[in-house]
Structure 1
Amino acid sequence: MAAPRTPREVADWAASAQADLSKLLAKREVSSHRVLTLTESFEKLTKLSLKQDKMFREALQCAEQGFYRSAHVAAWAAVIDFCHEWAADPSRLAKIQAARTKWVLKGPADFRSYVDFQLFEALEAAGLMTKTVMKAFQGLLNKRNECAHPEDYDPTINDTLGYLDELMKRVAALQAKSP
């Protein structure tokens, strides 16, 4: 007969069983457990501020609960905040200032004076991203706008997970660029 298990062993076994079950359920197309695979991608992101981390986690929670439009909006908020911080690096800021001489920029908060679309145009003009990357970000912004404003667009879990995954990959690519 096996020795009695401690409460800690039982809790560890239950947590392990739950994780295994979630991985199995994540393979089903309509399962909200698929968010767990996206959470693993999120864990790979580094150098996020506490605010950005919180917004990405809120987006994942929205997706898990089936609030797909909200997930798009929350994830975009995290990405744009990251982009403001990333662009405010002194060497990048100087390049942006040279490309947009009429813009008054001293830090991340100053980027909030300009619409997101213009930010990506400025990053491209400053040579900080390619035209293709700029257009990709602008396309993601358009998708966010469809979710934030009354439109006919009603994203599914697949749409949402794809959107969140692409945003995370775009942030990771920017993180990989040295100043």
Structure 2
Amino acid sequence: MPQLDDLVGRAEAFKKEAHSLFGQFESAPSRVIQLDESYQTLSVLNLKQDELVRQALRCVEHGLYRAAHVMAWAGFMDFYEEILQSDGLVAVRTLRDKWDHCRDIEELREYRAESALLDLAQPLQIASKNEMKALHSMLNKRNQCAHPSSFAPDLNSTLGFLSEVLHYLKLLAGKVPVLPAP
């Protein structure tokens, strides 16, 4: 069996090297595999979020680029909303006292736009002002994909979007809402 193990190991090494080389070409499917490999290093997602991001990766593999944007953003927003509710929405309600009718994150999702929720990132010290602007930009791309528009993302822009989503998932991991000092 050592020969078989050696052969399998060499095949895996070849596959990894081939994806690395072919990933440099603009339309190579290897780029999706490289993104999938970087996704696998992310361990902060719950099962629902993990499935949403995996669906986004599958959409890319099948050329469904608009759907990939929507699914990746759904996974990100669920993760972000989990951060907002990590203190029982105390910080959110303190910052937005007119939102006190929302008992939980589900009601907040129902009655508040995603852009309004993203506006909380900087004042609650979840993200910097520039990071919050980047999140709004990502939401705009997602909206272009989720609603009728002439926007037609290609492989490159979709991989860039997914890479950006993964970046912000890692960046925001472990953050908790913090109220600014009065």
Normalised to the residue count of structure 1, the TM-score between the two structures is 0.85
Can you list the C-alpha shifts for 1:25-53, whole angstroms capped at 9, x where unaligned?
21211112101221232123222010111
Query: Residue 50 and residue 32 in structure 1: after superposition, are their counterparts in 2 closer, same or farther (change >3 A)?
Result: same
The alignment covers a number of residue pairs equal to 175
Partner of 1:99: 95
Question: How far apart are the structure 2 equivalents of 1:106 and 1:10?
Answer: 58
Q: Which runs of 5+ in 2 are unaligned?
A: 178-182
Q: Is the 8 A contact 1:59 1:74 kept in 2?
A: yes
Which structure 1 segments of 5+ residues have no match? none
Local SS of the residue matching 1:139: helix
TM-score, reference length from structure 2:
0.84
Give the corresponding residue for 2:55. Answer: 58
Q: Please report the RMSD computed on the Cα atoms of aligned residues, expressed in angstroms.
A: 2.3
Aligned to 2:132: 134
Residues 32 and 63 of structure 1 are in contact (CA less than 8 Å); yes or no, is this contact kept in structure 2?
no
User: How far apart are the structure 2 equivalents of 1:115 and 1:160?
Assistant: 24
Q: Check whether the contact 2:60–2:155 (CA below 8 A) recurs between aligned residues.
A: yes
**Structure 2 letter corresponding to 1:71:** A
Percent of residue pairs bearing the same amino acid type: 35
Higher relative contact order (CA 8 A, sep 6+): 2
Letter aligned with residue 91 of structure 2: K
User: 2 CA distance for matches of 1:38 and 1:4?
Assistant: 32
The answer as to whether partners of 1:84 and 1:109 remain within 8 angstroms in 2 is: no
